[in-house]
Structure 1
Amino acid sequence: MSERRTFTEEFKTMITELVASGQSVKEVAREYSLSETSIRNWVKKKAPIKTEEGTINLEEINRIKKENARLKEENEILKKAMAIFAKK
């Protein structure tokens, strides 16, 4: 059984930039011994999405969602603490 390889964000960015510059996914996959599926997933995550404020990518959206969930949880904890202190 083969060991699962991990790649740095810098490497993934470099690979997606190669595809964006015109090289085919198949060529890049062959040259770097990667699966085409992995490359397509990286390209999809790093592809810019146009918004009213500018551009963003799926990685950034996911990071913002995680941060938002954490902030909501902290807010709920603070609300509960305020309710406890208000009773005293």
Structure 2
Amino acid sequence: MGSKNSRNYSEDFKKMVVELYHSGQSVSSLSSEYGVSEVTIYKWIKAFTPVAGEENQLTPHDIAAIQKENLKMKQEIEILKKAMAIFARK
């Protein structure tokens, strides 16, 4: 199999490409111009396009970040509850 060409693009670059797509440029032209595969650009479009119909428009990327932070907070709360139980016994 061929080697996988993996590059890390900044979030600003990804958002810029998505904005260019929303301003009317085609995915194929963006792919040619910036050297990014069309599949990758479609992933970025899905991740950085706001969910329609919401007042505070969130992208799937934003929602995933919120969910990750929420999980971390739930874990921290459980740790604090256990610590409180230990200190309450003393």
Whether TM exceeds 0.5 here: the answer is: yes
The TM-score with structure 2 as length reference comes to: 0.89
CA distance in 2, matches of 1:59, 1:25: 20
Equivalent residue number for residue 23 of structure 1: 25
Q: Runs of 4+ in structure 1 displaced over 3 angstroms? A: 50-53
TM-score (norm. length: structure 1): 0.91
Uncovered stretches (5+) of structure 2, i.e. residues with no partner: none
* CA apart distance, 1:23: 0.6
In the alignment, structure 1 segments of 5+ residues that lack a partner are none
RMSD of the alignment, in Å? 1.5
Give the length in aligned residue pairs.
Answer: 88
Of Structure 1 and Structure 2, which has the larger fraction of its residues in strand? 1
- Paired amino acid for 2:9: F
Identical residues among aligned pairs (%): 47
Per-residue deviation, 1:3: 4.2
